[in-house]
């Protein structure tokens, strides 16, 4: 299995607590948050990851180098912010096979990657999305799901419990190749939302540990969800 990790975020909303680091390098339980993500990939048997980096990427490369726990690391560097889709398109040049997992570098999700891959293949879809149920969807926006297919996206601000996009995709590279190269592009807003009826993405449900460190309050909460010895606390959930 191979993954693209979107690690180029500016971390604007975290500047008050992490002023001098790219968001994936924000320390959580004494380690860069990206290390927790790479640990999960290594544990799941990944052998290669493309780190899509931008802001202060030198610090990420200096820390992790060319490999981490048996996972080969390759760097796709964007000179200017390209958005999620633009970063995926640029990283595609370093991807060796299809489909490829894509992960958000500011989100940790304990998901069964092998099962997600098998389900993706069995349903012969171009895109699978890991989804998790949370008690309050207002920060994220929620998903409309029918027969394990995503059929709609509800804007942020909706209240109550529901399923959300958990920030892990399995996507055929042909779909990524259709994204305009070298230009800012949102995978979610410019591809997934307008094409949901034809794409019919597969919703892969998981109840594993989920945490998004994008805002200060959740970043602080993440400190208590991980063990400083290097083991995620599997029995606790940040948003359930």
Q: Shortest CA distance to 74 belongs to which of 66, 64, 84?
A: 66
Phi, psi of 198 (to 5 degrees): -90, -35
- The answer to whether 62 and 147 are in contact (CB under 8 A) is no
- 179, with CB counted inside 10 A (0-12, 13-18, 19+), is buried
The Cα–Cα gap between 84 and 19 comes to: 22
DSSP, res 94 = G
Token pair, residue 124, equals 């012969």
The answer to whether the peptide bond before residue 99 is cis (omega within 30 degrees of 0) is: yes
The Cα–Cα gap between 141 and 220 comes to: 22
Token pair, residue 1, equals 């299995």
Provide the annotated active-site residues: 156
């Amino acid at each position: 299995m191979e993954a693209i990790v979107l690690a180029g975020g500016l971390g604007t909303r975290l500047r008050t607590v992490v002023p001098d680091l790219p968001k994936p390098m924000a320390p959580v339980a004494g380690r860069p948050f990206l290390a927790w993500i790479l640990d999960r990939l290594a544990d799941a048997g990944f052998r290669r990851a493309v780190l899509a980096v931008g802001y202060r990427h030198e610090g990420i490369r200096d820390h992790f180098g060319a490999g981490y726990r048996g996972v080969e690391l390759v760097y796709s560097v964007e000179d200017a912010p390209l958005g999620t889709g633009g970063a995926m398109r640029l990283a595609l040049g370093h991807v060796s096979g299809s489909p490829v997992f894509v992960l958000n570098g500011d989100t940790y999700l304990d998901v069964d990657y092998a099962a997600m891959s098998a389900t993706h293949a069995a349903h012969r879809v171009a895109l699978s999305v890991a989804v998790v149920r949370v008690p309050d969807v207002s920060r994220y926006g929620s998903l409309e799901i029918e027969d394990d297919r995503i059929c709609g996206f509800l804007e942020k601000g909706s209240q109550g419990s529901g399923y959300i996009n958990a920030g892990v995709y399995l996507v055929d590279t042909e779909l990524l190749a259709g994204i305009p190269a070298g230009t800012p592009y949102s995978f979610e807003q410019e591809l997934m939302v307008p094409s949901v009826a034809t794409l019919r993405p597969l919703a892969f449900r998981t109840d594993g540990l989920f945490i998004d460190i994008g805002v200060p309050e959740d970043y602080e909460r993440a400190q208590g969800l991980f063990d400083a010895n290097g083991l995620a606390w599997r029995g606790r959930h940040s948003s359930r």
